[in-house]
Amino acid sequence: MDVAILGCGYVGLELGRQLTDRGHDAIGVRRSDDGIEAITEAGFEAVQADITDREALETVPDVDAIVFAASSGGRGAATAREVYVEGLRTAIEQFGERDASPERLVYTSSTGVLGDHDGDWVDEETPLEPTTEKTEVLAEAERVALELPPEYGFEGTVARYAGLYGPGRYRLERYLEGPVTEGYLNMVHRDDAAGAVRYLLEDDLARGEVVQVVDDEPVDKWTFADWLAEACGVDQPPKRTKADRLEDTGLSEAARRRILTSKRCSNEKLRDLGYDFVYPTYREGYRDAIDAYSTN
């Protein structure tokens, strides 16, 4: 199987490694010199191109599947729209118009599109209720990923990620030093975020569907912080309620909405499809980071 990973960053690099290790041909696409170097170091083919530029995408070879894993780099809604909506649309059209068009697309989204559910469980059938301009863009991109590919004879899948963590993104200090604001954490380790997409592609699953990619156990932030402190052998961090945090007059409206957003994301569908997690909960996923902290 030949797979082009458009926006081959944190998860894309791991996806390329996994695909290559299993005998597939991965092609990582990035715009920057540093991005191309990272793909080469990861051990698979690199193509330098702006994934929002139709002509630039012509340099990417024909493939069986495209994975759109681009990031807007934490910038605002306008940039997010340029990347996630217009960039995705451009990629689908550019590959779809080829004589040898792909068989499928996987678009990596975010559970942020589901909005606030007051701590209740949410799944793939939960109506989208984005609470910020950026998550509204992500919700629109999901619709593009599912509705546009059939016009070109292939199908799209949305892999909806929870909060990503893993090498380089454990953020121990945030939880060990505090203060920690109450709420739920929905997480997935980088290796499982990549592994789930690789699994859906290899086993040809979830065409035309949404799949939430999140581990087995959403956890209360205070519970997680106390567990992490004990595991690292330090004092429990200070805590604060949402009301305390919202007293900060410098918070943006988007930040306020994020603080108020609370839900627990189910991975029942992904489990039912047969995916076996490498790191089923934060307990396994944070072990390497804890060991590294303890030896410093």
What was the pLDDT predicted at 278? 98
Tokens of 278: 């490498």
Dihedral angle computed from the Cα positions of residues 179, 185, 189 and 190, in that order, rounded to the nearest 10 degrees: -80
Using only C-alpha atoms, what is the Rg of the chain?
19
Beta bridge partners of 5: 28, 67
Number of domains in the chain: 1
Closest CA to 176 of 240, 247, 243, 239: 239
Q: What is the mean pLDDT of residues 58-66?
A: 97
- Check whether 254 has a pLDDT greater than 80: no
Closest CA to 136 of 254, 32, 12: 254
Domain contains 83: yes
What was the pLDDT predicted at 72? 66
What was the pLDDT predicted at 250? 81
- Residue whose pair of structure tokens reads 């809604």 in the numeric block: 77
Domain contains 247: no
- Check whether 24 has a pLDDT greater than 70: yes
The 8-class DSSP code of residue 186 comes to -
Domain contains 246: no
Measured distance CA(17)–CA(39) in Å, rounded: 9
What was the pLDDT predicted at 74? 63
Closest CA to 178 of 225, 131, 128: 225
Domain contains 244: no
CA angle 274, 142, 89 (to 5 degrees): 120
Identify the domain containing residue 143 by its residue range: 2-169+187-219+265-282
Q: Is the peptide bond before 61 cis (omega within 30 degrees of 0)?
A: no
| Model confidence, pTM | 0.95
Dihedral angle computed from the Cα positions of residues 213, 151, 201 and 59, in that order, rounded to the nearest 10 degrees: -110
Q: Which CATH number characterizes residue 65's domain?
A: 3.40.50.720
Domain contains 214: yes
Query: What are 200-223's pLDDT values in tens digits?
Result: 999 999 999 999 999 999 999 999
Domain contains 36: yes
- Check whether 73 has a pLDDT greater than 70: no
80 pLDDT band, cuts 50/70/90, is confident
Domain contains 260: no
Closest CA to 267 of 189, 188, 202, 155: 188
- Residue whose pair of structure tokens reads 């305390």 in the numeric block: 244
Mean pLDDT of all residues belonging to the chain? 94
Are residues 188 and 286 in contact, defined by beta-carbon separation less than 8 angstroms? no
Segment of 74-78, 117-121, 129-133, 204-208 carrying the highest mean pLDDT:
204-208
Instruction: Pick left, alpha or beta for residue 205 (phi over 0 → left; psi -120 to 50 → alpha; otherwise beta).
Output: beta
Dihedral angle computed from the Cα positions of residues 154, 160, 166 and 171, in that order, rounded to the nearest 10 degrees: 140
